[in-house]
């Protein structure tokens, strides 16, 4: 199969990355709930259980704290575990091991030990699974020094970033949006072990009127908006940070200096949210002087995600909301 | 034919009791069948966890409870909710995202709670309800209310830390709580054989100083008898009991389950152990009800579910107004 027409879904791309890493390094293994015969609650591990062995694709009991802790211990002892937590909401069960243990060990112990661990987990709303199965938790993890946090928005990035996350000697939280698993991306997924470094923001598309920074699924929604508004003569630069911690601000500064307008979009609640960090850094930088419009942000409402579809939709930014905000910002500030 | 909303007592102790037990098991069965049908026809959204095959557990347990006694429930919670006496229309309306639903359309299948019948809520988090039931029992003890709290949870939940911490608190504080484990042999795709190194899950009680009882979870009489004894212990201040009911879920874990982890034969075997005919044969053998009366009960349950679906379908959909104001209860002056 030729490299330039491989349109994989994100689930397939992630599976491919894990397969490559497991072929490359015997110390890579996966553990999580229902990742074996079942193939993962969202089908991400798929056939890996059959391709490798039950010892390298380990089905666990429902014990999030235990399995993340076991992964930390294995990571300290020469292995490179990839933990799948079935829904990001249940990282709450494992938060001690994530935030108090994995994140702190290298620094706190004076560099004596380190934790090469990847924790992959699906997040986000849109499935009608209500408040305890729908959260976007980017902000939680971004606020813990010692964790790297990756939020892929498309299959090609997901594959390259996951390979780098597995190589990384530090704990990496890899947050995958459920609604993106089954859809192919806009770009083909390169064959082989092509890595994308963590901590490099991506300019998805360039324009001169507005800088739009979005994370995860909001990148996809924003892209649609940018394409649509291009027809109206509004040209948008869309930036996907991809790694929200550490955060690469340079392309954002450069773009703001060109466009003079900034719109930031995230799915999670606005209060204390990650995007506020982007706004703060622009505000503190010399690019701030280039702004000709107030900065605008769109985020989830400060509520738990409701069940009924008509309520759930209202809780997070939709394409129409982004469209209205982007047009407003460009039209009202000249 | 009248059936009281909540009746207590042995399911074979009178025609009313037998009727009640049967009606509630049928209600659960037919409710779940209606939910499956609505999903299949694209009229319901989200996910669903059906308890078909497990009706005897909650029915037997709730026959031993008073209205004021409390329960916490699970993602597979429709049966617990119905057995405790919830209104079928409001349940169905919740699943359809309607304003009159138990949660106003904000919670859905996994979060139905009903303060009136002592249902502190279903839970989307495996094990989440166990410490909460222990807390309800603590409140009962502190306030000398004499009520009992029951936590329903699955075999899978027993491997969450929450179970272990809660069990120990219940034991050391001698709380009036019943830890009711519905062992349906699987937590999603992981079987109890792979997820446990013991055969009898009730043995877990031993390590905490809690008596552990294992019963046939498809026999409503056996379940009731174990529960009645556990409730008596709890009300006497003798502390918690761990009850393990051995049962089986006929349907997949949720909508997306392809049942790759178990055989068709196993599923068929368990369908022969259907809790409803199991109880009917006991009732007939004891001469408590005749076949005609039994058929009437099945029909009554079916009619009640049809009515609930119709009422719920016609009700007003929830609207996204006032969501922000709904996050906190207002502080009273
Ligand atoms: C803390 C947590 N981990 C994982 C899940 C995903 N999940 C939902 S139900 C379930 C299986 C539960 O098994 P069990 O407790 O035996 O209940 P059953 O489904 O058999 O009724 C899993 C893994 C969850 N909801 N919460
Ligand atoms: Mg189970």
Tens of pLDDT, residues A114-126: 999 999 999 999 9
**Is residue B289 in a domain?**
no
B305 touches B27 (CB < 8 A): yes
Q: How far is the CA of B187 from the centre of ligand 1 (A)?
A: 6
Strand-pair partners of A300:
A269
Q: Domain end: A145, A180, A215, which one?
A: A180
Residue B4 is predicted with a pLDDT of 55
Average of pLDDT values for B274-296?
98
Cis peptide before B95 (omega within 30 of 0): no
Looking at the fold, whether A10 and A136 belong to one and the same domain comes out as yes
Residues of A in contact with B46 (CB under 8 A): 127-130, 307
Whether the per-residue pLDDT at A2 is higher than 60: the answer is no
Identify whether B133 is part of a domain. Answer: yes
Establish if B228 belongs to a structural domain.
yes
A101 within domain boundaries: yes
Question: Inter-chain contact B106–A310, Cβ cutoff 8 Å?
Answer: no
Domain count within chain B: 1
In this structure, is residue B254 part of a structural domain?
yes
Contact A129 B110 (CB under 8 A): yes
What residue in A sits closest to B154 (Cα-Cα)? A62
User: Does A194 fall in a domain?
Assistant: no
Say how many Å lie between the first and final Cα of chain A, rounded. Answer: 49
Tell me the CB-side half-sphere exposure of residue B46, using CA atoms within 13 A.
Answer: 32
**Inside any domain, residue A192:** no
CA distances from B257 to B37, B195, B254 (A): 16, 19, 6
State how far Cα A85 lies from the chain centre: 14
User: What pLDDT score does B2 carry?
Assistant: 47
Does A195 reside within a domain? Answer: no
Residue A5 has pLDDT above 90, yes or no: no
Residue A81: inside a domain: yes
A93 vs B contacts (CB less than 8 Å): 125, 160-162
Whether the Cβ atoms of residue A73 and residue A81 lie closer than 8 Å to each other? no
Domain that holds residue B197: 30-263+306-327
| Whether A171 and A214 share a structural domain | no
Give the domain CATH number at A302: 3.40.50.920
How do residues A222-276 score in pLDDT, each as one tens digit?
A: 999 999 999 999 999 999 999 999 999 999 999 999 999 999 999 999 999 999 9
pLDDT for the residue numbered B5:
63
The CATH number given to whatever domain includes residue B314 is 3.40.50.970
Q: What's the domain range around A231?
A: 202-331
Same domain for A173 and A32: yes
- Provide the CB-side half-sphere exposure for B327 (13 A, CA): 11
Whether the per-residue pLDDT at B202 is higher than 90: the answer is yes
Q: Do A140 and A260 reside in the same domain of the chain?
A: no
B112 by Cβ neighbours in 10 Å (0-12 / 13-18 / 19+) ranks as: buried
- Would you call A84 a catalytic residue per the annotation? no
pLDDT tens for B70-119 read 999 999 999 999 999 999 999 999 999 999 999 999 999 999 999 999 99
Supply the pLDDT for residue B333: 75
Q: Is B2 part of the contact surface with chain A (CB cutoff 8 Å)?
A: no
Secondary structure element (H or E) that encloses residue A254, with its range: helix A250-259
Q: Are A16 and A137 found together in one domain?
A: yes
- pLDDT category at B266 given cuts 50, 70, 90 is very high
Distance from CA of B133 to the nearest CA of A (A): 18
Claim to verify: residue A213 and residue A301 sit in the same structural domain: yes
Give the burial class of B199: count Cβ atoms within 10 A of its Cβ; 0-12 exposed, 13-18 middle, 19 or more buried.
exposed
The verdict on residue A40 lying in a domain is yes
Q: What separation in Å is there between the alpha carbon of B156 and the centre of ligand 1?
A: 6
For chain B, what percent of residues have pLDDT higher than 70?
98
Asked whether residue B184 is assigned to any structural domain, the reply reads: yes
Is the domain of A153 the same as that of A213? no
CA angle A65, A71, A72 (to 5 degrees): 90
From the list B46, B125, B317, the residue facing A307 with the nearest CB is B46
Q: Among A121, A149, A180, identify where a domain stops.
A: A180
Q: Is A284 one of the catalytic residues?
A: no
Contact at CB, A307 and B124, closer than 8 angstroms: no
Question: DSSP 3-state assignment of A263?
Answer: strand
Q: Are A207 and A138 contained in the same domain?
A: no
Any A CB within 8 A of B189 CB: yes
Residue B238 lies in a domain: yes
For ligand 1, residues with CB inside 6 Å are A 33, 62, 64, 86, 90, 93; B 75-76, 124-126, 153-157, 184, 186-188, 253
Answer whether residue A197 is part of any domain. no
**Closest residue by Cα to residue B95 from B39, B52, B30:** B39
pLDDT tens, position by position, A77-110:
999 999 999 999 999 999 999 999 999 999 999 9
Beta bridge partners of A264: A213, A297
What is the whole-number distance in angstroms between the Cα of residue B328 and the centre of ligand 2?
Answer: 34
Q: Is residue B176 part of a domain?
A: yes
- pLDDT of B255 reads 86
Taking only the tens place, the pLDDT of each residue in A21-73 is: 999 999 999 999 999 999 999 999 999 999 999 999 999 999 999 999 999 99
**Which pLDDT does position B6 carry in this prediction?**
77
The interface predicted TM-score of the complex, written ipTM, equals: 0.96
Residue B268 lies in a domain: no
CA closest to B46 among chain A residues? A128
Write down the mean pLDDT value for chain A: 97
Judgement on whether residues A213 and A90 belong to the same structural domain of the protein: no
Please tell me which residue in A64, A138, A267, A323 is annotated as part of the active site.
A64
- B269: tokens are 């075997």
**Domain check: are A48 and A126 in the same one?**
yes
Name the catalytic one among A33, A133, A138, A267: A133
Number of domains into which chain A is organized:
2
In this structure, is residue A166 part of a structural domain? yes
């Amino acid at each position: 199969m030729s490299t330039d027409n491989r349109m994989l879904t994100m689930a397939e791309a992630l599976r491919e990355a894990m397969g490559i890493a497991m072929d490359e390094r015997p110390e890579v293994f996966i553990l999580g709930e229902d990742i074996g015969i079942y193939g993962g609650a969202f089908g991400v591990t798929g056939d890996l259980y059959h391709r490798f062995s039950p010892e390298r694709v380990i089905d666990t009991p429902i014990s999030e704290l235990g399995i993340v802790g076991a992964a930390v211990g294995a990571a300290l002892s020469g292995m490179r575990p990839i933990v799948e937590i079935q829904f990001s909401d249940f990282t709450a069960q494992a938060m001690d091991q994530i935030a108090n243990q994995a994140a702190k060990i290298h620094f706190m112990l004076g560099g004596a030990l380190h934790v090469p661990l990847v924790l992959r987990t699906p997040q986000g709303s849109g499935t009608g699974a209500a408040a305890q199965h729908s959260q976007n938790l980017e902000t939680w993890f971004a606020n813990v020094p010692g964790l790297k946090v990756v939020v892929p928005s498309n299959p090609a990035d997901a594959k390259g970033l996951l390979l780098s996350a597995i190589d990384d000697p530090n704990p990496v939280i890899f947050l995958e949006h459920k609604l993106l698993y089954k859809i192919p991306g806009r770009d083909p997924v390169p064959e082989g072990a092509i890595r994308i470094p963590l901590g490099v923001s991506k300019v998805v598309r360039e324009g001169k009127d507005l800088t739009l920074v979005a994370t995860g699924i909001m990148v996809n929604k924003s892209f649609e908006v940018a394409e649509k508004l291009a027809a109206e003569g509004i040209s948008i630069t869309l930036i996907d940070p991809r790694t929200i911690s550490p955060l690469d601000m340079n392309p954002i500064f450069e773009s703001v200096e060109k466009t003079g307008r900034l719109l930031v979009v995230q799915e999670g609640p606005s209060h204390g949210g990650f995007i506020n960090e982007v706004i703060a850094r622009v505000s503190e930088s010399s690019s701030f002087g280039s702004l000709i419009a107030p900065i605008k942000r769109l985020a989830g409402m400060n509520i738990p995600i409701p069940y009924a579809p008509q309520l759930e939709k209202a809780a997070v930014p939709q394409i129409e909301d982004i469209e209205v905000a982007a047009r407003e910002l460009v039209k009202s500030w000249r | 034919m009248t059936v009281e909303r909540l009746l207590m007592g042995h399911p074979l102790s009178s025609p009313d009791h037998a009727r009640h037990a049967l009606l509630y098991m049928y209600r659960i069965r037919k409710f779940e069948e209606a939910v499956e049908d609505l999903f299949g026809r694209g009229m319901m959204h989200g996910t669903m966890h059906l308890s078909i095959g497990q009706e005897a557990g909650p029915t037997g347990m709730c026959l031993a409870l008073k209205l004021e006694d409390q329960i916490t429930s699970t993602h597979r919670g429709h049966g617990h909710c119905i057995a405790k006496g919830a209104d079928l229309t409001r349940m169905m309306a919740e699943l359809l995202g309607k304003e009159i639903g138990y949660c106003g359309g904000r919670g859905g299948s996994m979060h139905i709670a009903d303060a009136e019948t002592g249902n502190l809520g279903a839970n989307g988090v495996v094990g989440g309800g166990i410490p909460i039931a222990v807390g309800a029992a603590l409140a009962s003890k502190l306030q000398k209310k004499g009520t009992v709290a029951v936590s329903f949870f699955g075999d899978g939940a027993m491997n969450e830390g929450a179970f272990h911490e809660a069990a120990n608190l219940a034991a050391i504080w001698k709380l009036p709580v019943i830890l009711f484990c519905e062992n349906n042999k699987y937590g999603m795709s992981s079987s109890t054989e792979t997820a446990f190194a013991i055969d009898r899950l009730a043995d877990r009680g031993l390590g905490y100083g809690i008596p552990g009882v294992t019963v046939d979870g498809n026999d409503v009489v056996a379940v009731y008898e174990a529960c009645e004894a556990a409730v008596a212990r709890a009300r006497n201040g003798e502390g918690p009991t761990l009850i393990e009911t051995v049962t089986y879920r006929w349907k997949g874990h949720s909508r997306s389950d392809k049942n790759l982890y178990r055989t068709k034969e196993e599923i068929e075997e368990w369908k022969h152990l259907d809790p409803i005919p199991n109880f009917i044969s006991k009732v007939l053998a004891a001469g408590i009800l005749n076949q005609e009366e039994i058929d009437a009960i099945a029909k009554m349950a079916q009619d009640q579910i049809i009515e609930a679906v119709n009422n719920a379908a016609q009700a007003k959909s929830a609207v996204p107004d006032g969501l922000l104001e709904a996050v906190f209860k207002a502080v009273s002056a």
